[in-house]
Amino acid sequence: MENNRRNFLKSVAGLSTLAASAVPGISSAAKSKAGPVAQVKDIRLSKNKGYVRLVFDLDGIADHSIFALHAPERVVLDIKKANMQHGMVDRVQANSLIKSIRSGERNGDDLRVVFDLSKGVTPRSFLLAPSGQSGHRLVIDLHDNKKTSTVKSTNKRDVIIAIDAGHGGRDPGATGRAGTHEKLVTLQIAKRLEKQINQQRGMKAILVRKNDRYMRLRDRIAKARDNHADMMISLHADSYPDPRARGSSIYALSVDGASSETARMLADKENAADQLFGDVNLAVEDQMVKEVLFDLSLTGTIESSLDIGGEILNQIKTVNRVHKKQVQQAGFAVLKAPNIPSILIETAFLSNPREEKNLRSATHQQKVAKAITRGVGKYFARKAPPGTWLASSECDYAVCSEDSIATIANQHNVNETDLRARNALYADNLLAGQVIKIPVS
Ligand SMILES: [Zn+2]
């Protein structure tokens, strides 16, 4: 392999087999009139799952073009007004993809680099402006054709999230000192949450109730099930005799319609729920919450409800104090496998005057809705149900220090917002080595 490269550098005749116009003759006269010439200072190679990356360190901006040729497989990189020391390509270590690299001058002061490959690739390239200790960089990614040509099915379904605004109609829920009804703020937050979730690629929200109407718990669950919900979020606002009680709480549930039928038949739900949840220290004045929690006792908690609840709690923490630091659950025996992982969010205490004010505030409601959306997104970016867009990915990609969300999106030809949604990237800081999923477009 080394010999191949050296042979080429001595005699660049190989280029003429690539393109008739490739005349690698030295023409210093042509160079001098043509303005600044970028120098390739270094070439670095890294191997990643599904592709090989080459970074050309340049001392200035340069135009480039790249294309693939077949039989034999090659990739040709042309950099305008650039040159490179002979022997530079030898710095690149041999690997299973690149058999040899050759370089030569073209059209006087352009640089042509040819990669002889062991198999077909799809080349992608982008330029990076100087940042930190790095200068101008031209990044070339050679994607394994097998990996990139995986079936790009666009009819992957969305993850469905049922949003259940607690109470409604003749059941106002708790009432704050300023007269705020729980049923109103839960509906307002539910609508904001619906909007936020629907802005995320791969997720679709269903409102269990869209207006001020009474719904029985089993009808709520039926609605979620009829819409094939992957999870259900029940929104409530807490109430407690002591007005100082404050903060958000999350309960992990698993909802099963059949078991709530059983629950419904129990005459004294309240007492039963009190007995079951006596050790959970619930400040529950709320009959509906008791019913939902009682349902949990029949279906059992499941990992995914706790997992989702944990992600949401982490996000809620950033916008409101939390009443309980962990997702609340009760240690009941699992009676049957649940079919819709569910969580119940006590957004804040309506019985606390300050929190009542927050619950009425559009700004605060919006913050809560966004926090819940981030939590849901983080969960489903990891554990989306099979067959959903969020579960699909073209390949795993290990983030390099040169990368930003924008450059990764660009080089993989995916939408930046899709890349964010697929990986729940809500901030801009990527860590080198972090593995992210490249979504199927
Ligand atoms: Zn409630």
Does 302 have pLDDT greater than 90?
A: no
23-27, 69-73, 141-145, 228-232: segment of lowest average pLDDT = 23-27
Q: What is the pLDDT of residues 186-207, one digit of tens each?
A: 999 999 999 999 999 999 999 9
Residue of 415, 384, 381, 437 lying closest to 159 (CA atoms):
384
Smallest Cα–Cα separation from 438: which of 385, 376, 381, 369? 381
Q: What is the pLDDT of residue 337?
A: 27
**What's the CA-to-centroid distance between 9 and ligand 1, angstroms?**
76
> How far does the centroid of ligand 1 lie from the alpha carbon of residue 237, in Å?
5
Span from the CA of 359 to the centroid of ligand 1 (angstroms): 13
Interval between CA 197 and ligand 1 midpoint (Å): 22
CA of 416 to the centre of ligand 1 (A): 38
2-148 has which fold?
Immunoglobulin-like (2.60.40)
392 CA to middle of ligand 1, Å?
36
Q: Is the pLDDT of residue 352 over 90?
A: yes
* Cα(260) to centroid(ligand 1), Å: 17
Q: pLDDT of 3-28, one tens digit each?
A: 444 333 333 333 333 333 333 333 33
pLDDT at 272 over 60: no
Using the mean position of ligand 1's atoms as its centre, give its distance from the Cα of residue 356 in Å.
Answer: 14
| Domain edges within the chain | 2-148, 159-383, 392-438
Rounded distance from Cα 273 to ligand 1 centre (Å): 15
In the reported structure, the alpha carbon of residue 270 is separated from the centroid of ligand 1 by a whole-number distance in angstroms of 14
| Interval between CA 288 and ligand 1 midpoint (Å) | 6
Per-residue confidence band for 426, with pLDDT thresholds at 50, 70 and 90: confident
Range of weakest confidence among 106-115, 217-226, 329-338, 393-402: 329-338
Confidence (pLDDT) at 88: 82
How many angstroms does the Cα of residue 216 sit away from the middle of ligand 1? 13
C-beta separation of 187 from 212 below 8 A: yes
Can you tell me the mean pLDDT for 426-430? 84
Architecture of the structural domain at 159-383:
3-Layer(aba) Sandwich (3.40)
Q: 406: Cβ–Cβ under 8 A, 6 or more apart, which residues? A: 416
User: For the chain, what percent of residues have pLDDT higher than 90?
Assistant: 27
Per-residue pLDDT for 380 more than 70? Answer: yes
Instruction: State in Å: Cα 421 to ligand 1 middle.
Output: 31
Report CA(355)–ligand 1 centroid distance (Å). Answer: 15
Domain 392-438 indexed as CATH 3.30.450.40: no
Beta-strand pair 249-255/340-349: antiparallel
Residue 137 CA, ligand 1 centroid: distance in Å = 56
